[in-house]
Structure formats: C-alpha cells, structure tokens
A and B are shown apart, each in its own frame.
Chain A
Amino acid sequence: MRWLRRGWRFVRGEVLVLPSRVLVLAFCLGLLALPLLTRDPYVLRVVILSCLFAIFAASWDLVSGYSGQVSLGQALYFGAGAYGSALLNHHLGWTPWVTIPAGALLATLTGALAGVPCLRLRGSYLSLATLAFPLILTGALFALPSLSGGELGLSGLAPLVRSRVGFYYVAVVTMLVSVFAMWLVGDSNTGLLFHAIREDETAARASGIDTPRYRLTAFALAGLFGGVAGGLYAHFVRVAGPSTLEVTLSFQAVIWGVFGGVATIYGPVAGVFLLYPLTELLALVPWLGEHRLLIFALVVLVILRVMPQGVAHWVRDRIERECRRCKARTVATRAACRVCGADLR
C-alpha cells in the first residue's frame, strides 16, 4: 500500500505535470492494452513491426544523434542480428530464445568492429564509410550461398512464440525495455559525453575524456539494440534475407530518426510509429497503395520544411516551455515555472 501511494505520488508529481510525459505514458499503456481491443492479425502485425523498427531507429539515434557519428549503414546491425540468429537457428537448430540474444551479441561485436576504422574518421567521411559496411557483408553473404542461402536468404526459421498475441507482447515489452534502456544511457554520464563528442571532440579530448572509447561504446550499443531488432524480425517474418542489409533500410532508419527528431531516443520511436503505420495504411487504399513510397517521401519532404528539427521537438516546443532560469520544463499554459517560479512570459 505504501509503495502504491509512493508510486502514485511519483506519477502525479513527475509524469502528469508535463504533457509530453503524459503522452509517453498513454502511448505505453495504449500499446499494452491494444490486444484487448482488437486481435486482428493485420493490425498486430503492423504494430509488431513498428515496435521492431522503433528499436532499430532508436539505436540509430544513439550512435548518430547523440555521439554525432551519422551512420548511413545502420542496416549492418539489423542484418547482423537477423543473419546471426538465423544461421544459428537454421544450421544448428538452436531455439530462438537463445539465437536472438546470440545474434544481438554478434551484432554488438560487428558494431564494435565497424567502429574501429571509423574512429579515424569524422563528419561526412564517417557517414560515407558506414554506408559501405552492410554492402560488404551482403557481398560476402552472396559469395557463400550454401551458408547464407544467397539472394533468397534463410527461410523457414522457427517462430519465437506460436501465437501472434504472444509475439505482440514480446515485441512491445522488448521495445519498451530497450528504448527505456537507451534513453537511460542517453541521460547518463555516458550520454553526456556523447553530446560532448558531437559538439566538439577536440575539446572533449582536451578535458581528459577517452573519446575513442566512448565512440566505440556508441557503436557497440547501436549494434546491440540494432541486433535485437534484427533477430526478432528474422524470427517474426521467419526469413533472414539480404533485404535486412539493404541501403534502403539504412536510409529508412535515417528518415525515421530525423523525421522524429534526433538526439532524443523518443523522437525516432515517434517517427516510426507515425510513418510506418502510415505506409501500411496507404497500402490498403487501392490507388494510393501503388504510390505509397511516393507519398511517404512527399510527407517527409514537406514536414521537414515546416519542422526541420523533427516532429518530437516541434510538438514539445508547442506544448511545453523551458524555464530560462532553471531549465526545467513546464506546460505552456502556465505562466510561471513549476520548479523555481520564474516568470515564463
């Protein structure tokens, strides 16, 4: 009872005071309650895929938004996770409960390995170099068709959970946990150092920070979470094919991330949950379905002209104001800061 009261006090004092936090809470509860409203396999499928891509897009944000190493090859981790778990499942017959973590570990290793040559690069050079890695891996996989299944990929993988609702909960919980973990990393000291590296690496170094270590950490973490998404994806669609390594998927992560708002973690998640169901919805409409990629691209283009910082930042700036004195955020309707009482007008 005491814990319950304390929990309620936390919710009332820390969550309900800010509309953005209320939105996040509503989003989490809504996701968890969705199967109570509908069990339509198509709806569940769209939300499951949104969850997986949300982990993926957030992992992009961790390395690109926070530490400023804009990755154009994020599909490397998705593909490494997908192929890693698929290979173990397909050739050794391990259960998905083992292969997905194993694939994620493999992707972490891949991320750290890809990070090593990138340590020497900055800015655009780094972006262009990261673009190369998934393509190198694709080439290698195509050259070993007996192992990787060539262009068709590995199919007939074991499902993680038989029922769709079961998988839905696995996906939603994994998404919430990993996104929250990434947000915690972003909010921790490590995240602060990522910000420092992005803003001025030389200055960070001069302040005695081992920047290569933190840059590698960012890559490895992106690999870990990208790999989790990839492994789950492979065991959900039950195929691991070269499409998990495609340039399009890497670009997709960038689009989701920038559309939602970089260096926030919740931005890319919002980006995925807005854009992915949109493209899926468009597919249902007869004429629009054929041109959904076109509409998708147009939406991205137009929204970016209106809000170049991304949707999350834009919405947040509309509903909340930052106190000039203590940097705390307050609902836009209030006249005074909720923490220090300074005038917000």
Chain B
Amino acid sequence: MLRSLLVTGLVNGAIYALLALGFSLIFGVARIVNIAYAGLYMLAAYLVYILLNVAGLPAPAAVPLAVAATVVLGLAVYRLVIEPVREHESAVLISTIALTLIFQELVLAAFGGNFLGNPVWADGIVEVLGVTVTYQQLLSLGVVTLALGGVWLVLNRTRLGVAIRATANDREVANLMGMNVRRVELWSAALSAALAGVAGAVVAPLAVIDPLMWQAPLVNILAIVVVGGLGSLKGSLIAAFVIGYVEAATVFLLPSGSFLKGAVALTIMVGVLLLRPEGLFGVAFEEER
C-alpha cells in the first residue's frame, strides 16, 4: 500500500510538474494567467488519440507530431487571442476561459462526451521494490524526466534561457538591455505550450480522456503554482510532487478519499498561503507591476 502510494504519487507528481512548469513559465515571463493552457493540454491528449487511433501512426511518431501541433496552436492562441487584449488583465482572463470552452465544445462536437481510452504504447509490467509498475508508467516517467531536463537546459544553458529569466525578473530592464521582450514572450509561450503538449500526450495512454479533462488538473496546477510561488520554476517543481503525493495519500488512506483529494490539496494551498503569502519559493515584490 505504502509502496503503491509512492509510485502513484511519483507519476502524478511528474505530470503535475510538467503542467505547472509550463503555466509558471508563461506567468513569470508575460504575467498572464493563461487558462487556455489547460485547454491545450486537453487538445494534446485528443491529438495523440487521433494520430494513434484514426491515422494509425506508431506512438514514437504520434507524440512529437501532437506536441508540435500543440505548440503551433499555443502560439496562435497567444498571438490572436491574448496579445490584442493584454492591457486589460481581466479581459485576458475571460478570453482564455472562453477559448478553453471553445476547445471543449469543439472536441465535444467531434468526439462526443464519452470517455475514450487510448491503447498503451508499451505493454507489460515490471516489479520495482515489490510494486507492480506498468511499462507505460515507466515510459511516461521517462518522457517527463526528459522534458523537464530539456526545459532546465534551455533555461540555464542557452542565451534564450537567460533572456527568459531576465524578462521574468524585470520586463522593463530586460527591454532596456536590448532584449526583444515580445519575442521572448512568444518563445516562452511556445515552450509552455510544448510542456502542455507533452503532458497531454503522456496522460492520454495512462487515463481515459474526455472533453472536461482540463478542469481537474487546472485546479491542481493553480494550487501548485501558488504553493510553489507564482513564476518560481523551482517552487512549482517541488510543489507538484508535494501535491501529487498528498493526493495519492488522500485517496489511499482516507475513507471516501477520492472525493476529498482536490479539497485536501487546496486546503494545503490555503495553509501555505496563510504562512507564506508569496508561496514557498516566490519572491515578495514590494509592488507587483
């Protein structure tokens, strides 16, 4: 029980980490709360489904294609929907909500509201420390690790990464230092869409997919980025695993825990906020711009 809890928590945490990182990235750089991000995640899962089941592609081809399509879509969303209303914070919020509803309805019209299952790419199970782990879970974990590593490399070892971090830190000064802030924002939008794409692709074979699947992780993502500190990538990563494990523990240990898993995660969020309003690793700005 304890061991299966460890494995479930790890897999959940890894997927949350991906999602929260992408959300945090675009918030940190562009100061945008992009709800459509969760919609991209849902679309990516459906893209993988289409490419695998309708187009009949093998998984190694389908996943990169789906991620690429998600990136294109994410950039289009950023340019066409978010940028024109950027000056009005609340307009951004509801535009992205409306867009997510549009995604949901389009998927609903195309596939219906049924739960769809994906074939797993890798059949079989393996015993690790006496817990049965499916190959699929291992594979997902591997993909997530690769993606997280890739993001870390981009952010810390490239000129683009420096520019992204600088813009996140202080947009105006970054602009004065000669960085093309708008292009940096576009790049981080692309990067964050890619993360949503990978997360969607990884989830698709692990769980059933449906047009409303963006709602539950959205709430968790928000809890994670708030606990970790908005815009803090390290914080998001740690908080993702905290929430992943807390959720797993609630489901395994409490009676009627599956109802309470969201509530417990969110209570933790509120608790953290009471103790440290800027999140675990967030920086408290004197006056947020």
A contact residues vs B (CB 8 Å cutoff)? 64, 70, 117, 120-125, 127-129, 131-133, 135-140, 142-143, 202, 247, 251, 254-255, 258-259, 262, 290-291, 293-294, 296-298, 300-301, 304-305, 308-309
Q: Are A131 and B222 in contact (CB under 8 A)?
A: yes
B102 contacts A by Cβ under 8 Å: yes
Q: Are B94 and A259 in contact (CB under 8 A)?
A: yes
B88 contacts A by Cβ under 8 Å: yes
> With A120-B274, A124-B27, A293-B101 as given contacts, are A142 and B94 in contact (CB-CB < 8 Å)?
no
Q: Are A293 and B223 in contact (CB under 8 A)?
A: no
Q: Are A293 and B81 in contact (CB under 8 A)?
A: no
Q: Are B81 and A136 in contact (CB under 8 A)?
A: no
Query: For chain B, which range describes its interface: under 10, 10 to 19, 20 to 34, or 35 or more residues?
Result: 35 or more
Q: Are B263 and A135 in contact (CB under 8 A)?
A: yes
> Which chain B residues in 62-102 approach chain A with CB under 8 Å?
81, 84-85, 87-91, 93-95, 97-99, 101-102
B259 contacts A by Cβ under 8 Å: yes
Residue of A70, A132, A301 near B102 (CB, 8 A) is A301
What is the bound-complex CA distance between A305 and B222, given in angstroms? Answer: 26
What is the bound-complex CA distance between A309 and B288, given in angstroms? Answer: 22
Residue of B89, B109, B226 near A125 (CB, 8 A) is B226
Q: Are B256 and A121 in contact (CB under 8 A)?
A: no
Q: Are B263 and A139 in contact (CB under 8 A)?
A: yes
Q: Are B102 and A298 in contact (CB under 8 A)?
A: yes
Residue among B27, B256, B269, B273 facing the most chain A CB atoms (10 A cut-off): B273
> With A301-B102, A308-B91 as given contacts, are A120 and B273 in contact (CB-CB < 8 Å)?
yes
Give the 3 A-B residue pairs with the shortest CB-CB distance, closest first: A139-B263, A294-B105, A142-B259
Residue of A132, A133, A143, A258 near B90 (CB, 8 A) is A258
Residue among B87, B88, B106, B259 facing the most chain A CB atoms (10 A cut-off): B259
Residue of A136, A258, A298 near B93 (CB, 8 A) is A258
Residue of B105, B263, B287 near A291 (CB, 8 A) is B105
Contact residues in A for B131 (Cβ distance below 8 Å): none
Interface contacts (Cβ under 8 Å), in number, total: 132
How far in angstroms is the closest Cβ of chain A from B133?
A: 29
How far in angstroms is the closest Cβ of chain B from A119?
A: 9
Contact residues in A for B215 (Cβ distance below 8 Å): 247
Contact residues in B for A291 (Cβ distance below 8 Å): 105, 109
How far in angstroms is the closest Cβ of chain A from B198?
A: 23
Nearest residue (CB) in A for B105 is A294
Residue of A129, A137, A305 near B273 (CB, 8 A) is A129
Contact residues in B for A298 (Cβ distance below 8 Å): 98, 102
What is the bound-complex CA distance between A128 and B97, given in angstroms? Answer: 14
How far in angstroms is the closest Cβ of chain B from A220?
A: 18
> With A129-B273, A258-B93, A297-B99 as given contacts, are A136 and B263 in contact (CB-CB < 8 Å)?
yes
How far in angstroms is the closest Cβ of chain B from A313?
A: 11
Nearest residue (CB) in A for B91 is A308
How far in angstroms is the closest Cβ of chain A from B273?
A: 6
Residue of B84, B95, B256, B269 near A129 (CB, 8 A) is B269
What is the bound-complex CA distance between A202 and B288, given in angstroms? Answer: 12
Main secondary structure of the interface of A (DSSP, over half): helix
Q: Are A294 and B102 in contact (CB under 8 A)?
A: yes
How far in angstroms is the closest Cβ of chain B from A159?
A: 30
How far in angstroms is the closest Cβ of chain B from A196?
A: 15
What is the bound-complex CA distance between A298 and B105, given in angstroms? Answer: 11
Contact residues in B for A259 (Cβ distance below 8 Å): 94
Residue of B219, B274, B287 near A117 (CB, 8 A) is B274
How far in angstroms is the closest Cβ of chain B from A333?
A: 29
How far in angstroms is the closest Cβ of chain A from B87?
A: 7
Q: Are B94 and A121 in contact (CB under 8 A)?
A: no
Q: Are A254 and B260 in contact (CB under 8 A)?
A: no
How far in angstroms is the closest Cβ of chain A from B282?
A: 8
What is the bound-complex CA distance between A169 and B75, given in angstroms? Answer: 50
Nearest residue (CB) in B for A202 is B287
The contact sample of 15 A-B pairs, CB cut-off 8 A, is A124-B230, A128-B230, A129-B273, A132-B269, A135-B219, A138-B263, A247-B215, A251-B97, A255-B98, A297-B101, A297-B105, A300-B95, A300-B98, A304-B85, A304-B91
B184 contacts A by Cβ under 8 Å: no
> With A121-B273, A129-B226, A297-B98 as given contacts, are A308 and B85 in contact (CB-CB < 8 Å)?
yes
How far in angstroms is the closest Cβ of chain A from B191?
A: 20
Q: Are A125 and B273 in contact (CB under 8 A)?
A: yes
Q: Are B101 and A136 in contact (CB under 8 A)?
A: no
How far in angstroms is the closest Cβ of chain A from B212?
A: 10
Q: Are A300 and B94 in contact (CB under 8 A)?
A: yes
Q: Are A136 and B267 in contact (CB under 8 A)?
A: yes
Q: Are A131 and B219 in contact (CB under 8 A)?
A: yes
> Which chain B residues in 230-289 approach chain A with CB under 8 Å?
230, 256, 259-264, 266-267, 269-270, 273-274, 277-279, 287-288
What is the bound-complex CA distance between A138 and B258, given in angstroms? Answer: 12
B50 contacts A by Cβ under 8 Å: no
How far in angstroms is the closest Cβ of chain B from A118?
A: 8
What is the bound-complex CA distance between A117 and B88, given in angstroms? Answer: 26
Q: Are A308 and B277 in contact (CB under 8 A)?
A: no
Contact residues in B for A133 (Cβ distance below 8 Å): 266, 270
B209 contacts A by Cβ under 8 Å: no
Query: Given contacts A120-B274, A128-B33, A291-B109, could you give 17 more A-B pairs where the C-beta distance is less than 8 Å?
Result: A64-B90, A117-B273, A120-B277, A125-B226, A128-B222, A129-B273, A131-B222, A132-B219, A132-B270, A133-B270, A135-B263, A136-B267, A140-B263, A202-B287, A255-B98, A298-B102, A301-B98
